Structure 1
Amino acid sequence: MSGTHTEVPSLVSAPLPHPVPADEYGACPVTDVLRRIGDKWTVLVVVLLGRRRHRFNELHRSVDGISQRMLTRTLRTLEQDGLVEREVHPTVPPSVEYGLTPLGRSLLPPLSGLADWAVAHHGEITAARGRATGEDGQMARSRPAQ
């Protein structure tokens, strides 16, 4: 789970303490990365930049509903994490392009695997959600067997 458990072959086969300490879960590299890529816009921005480099306004026009402030924040976070590079071209006015770094490109295959899984199982998940909620949209309560 945490930085001390990086030698395990797979997350699902890693031994976990019981209960999992909150501080260890919070310090876990997997938790950290999922928090970063799990926000509203990051995956979409990474996918777009995975196709080709974009200028800021071009990227902004490509993502309906994202504000300039949120796009700036998302790009800065991805740049701080080493996933996106920002290249300033010495023109008047300066032109800025964003692209994925090699580290950012290495995120595309596992992201694609997760996307493929989500598409393949979306119907099952939707059906399970429908069974779990009542007509009023509230979670159905467990009823004792009769």
Structure 2
Amino acid sequence: MGSTRIKGNRKPVLTLGAPGSEFSADVISWSIENEEADSDVITFEDAANGGSRQYFLRGSAIQSTQTASFWRYVWENAGDTDVPFTIAPHGNATPSASEPHLVGTLTIGPKPTIGAEASTSASSASTFDYEFQIDGIPVLDVAP
């Protein structure tokens, strides 16, 4: 039997803040990525573990100035620290061992881009890219 896959046609749940606001309707893509952390000091523990890593929540979303939109949330909360986040990649409300959530806290990035290109199509939409620095390592939440 194959592994359960994360699919693009399932609505992942992305919440930010406390209490959490859900932004899946505005998010086009998301990813949690890590890279070598910028550090002027590396401890022996960091070196023994292969160096320290920094995690980021990155992606793209639609531009919308509506009050409850993701763009507006990022605009109004740019620079906020210790913001709780939850990502449910499978779209499930409750985490489980086979469909966990990713949780943690992050820092909201800078105010998002706003702008548009001329188009004759009524269906074209403007988007923006976001990058939020995650505090520490995201936790894989499997608790029911």
TM-score above 0.5, yes or no: no
Q: Which structure's relative contact order is higher, taking Cα pairs within 8 Å and 6+ residues apart? A: 2
Q: Which has the larger radius of gyration?
A: 1
Q: TM-score of the superposition, structure 2-length normalised?
A: 0.31
Higher-helix-fraction structure: 1
Q: TM-score of the superposition, structure 1-length normalised?
A: 0.31
